Amino acid sequence: MLEVTKQGRIGILSINRPQRRNAMDRDLVAALVQAFRRFDADPDIAAIVLTGEAPGFCAGSDLKFIGRLSLEDMCRFEAETGDMARLIGFVRKPVIAAVEGFALGGGFILAVSCDLVVSADTARWHLPEVPIGWLTPWGLGALISRVGAVAARKLCFASEAFDGREAKRLGLVDHLAEAGHAHEVAMALAQRLAGLPAQAVCSTKRFFTLGISGMSEVLDVEANEAFAGNCLHPVARATLERFASRSEVKGRPC
C-alpha cells in the first residue's frame, strides 16, 4: 500500500491503494510514519517526494474502514492521521507533494501539510467533509497557514471542487505541472533542494516550521472533538453507514 524507493538522494513514497482511491486506513498511516522517520534518519537522503499511484494522490480517510469503527476508535484513527501529517513539518528534509488526478478530503490536507506542493493543472481538489456531515478532523492549521483563516473556512464549506490552476491561485499549490508530469516536476525540485547545503536547508525548514505549526496540535484536538460530535448526527451517520455497508468492487471506488 506504500511503495518506498530511492532515486539518488531522493526518497520517494508512493501511496498505492488503487482499489480504495489511495484512501488512508490505519496500516497506511503507520507505514507513512515509519517511512518518514526512516528517510529522516538516512544520511543519504536529502529530500522526499510524496505521491500517489493512479488514479490520484489520495482520497482522504477510507470511509469504508472508519465506518466500521466505534466512534472512539474512529476519532483515535483521525488523531493518529493528524499526528502523521504534523510529523512532516519536523522531518529534517524537505517533503514535496506531487499531486495527480485528485486530492480529496484528508488527501487535500495531507498534500498541503507538505513543505512544497506540485499539482497537475487538471488535478481535482476538494474538501467534501462538511456536505457529508462533519468538520475536517485534522490538519486545518496547515490549511490556514497557506491561505488564511477566512479562505480556509470558505474551502471547508466545499461549495465546489476546483482544478490545480485554481489551487495555485489560492496559494495551496506552489508549482504547476502539465497533467501526467507532476512527479517529474517534483523530482526536479527535490534534486535542486538536495543540491543545497543540507544543514542550511534543515535550519530553514525548522525555523519556519516553528512559525507555521503554531497552534496546529491544539487545533487538531479541537477539530477532533467537533468531528466526534458531528458523527452523532444523522447526516454523518448515514454517510458512514453507507460506506461501511458497501462491498469491494475491483477497479472501482467503493
**DSSP string for 95-162:** EEEEE-SEEETHHHHHHHTSSEEEEETT-EEE--HHHHTS---S-HHHHHHHH-HHHHHHHHH----E
Q: Which of 52, 80, 93, 37 is nearest to 182 (CA)?
A: 52
Q: Pick the catalytic residue from 3, 78, 100, 129.
A: 129
The Cα-based distances of 95 to 43, 118, 230, 239 in angstroms read: 15, 11, 32, 33
Catalytic residue list contains 129:
yes
Indicate the helix (H) or strand (E) that contains 231: none
Beta bridge partners of 24: 61
Taking the C-alpha atoms of residue 111 and residue 102, their distance in angstroms, rounded to an integer, is: 10
DSSP secondary structure code for residue 7 in this structure: E
- Helix/strand/coil percentages in the chain, nearest 5: 50, 15, 30
Taking the C-alpha atoms of residue 30 and residue 24, their distance in angstroms, rounded to an integer, is: 10
Q: Could you tell me if 99 and 178 are in contact, meaning their C-beta atoms sit under 8 angstroms apart?
A: no
User: How long is the chain?
Assistant: 254
Which residues belong to the active site? 129
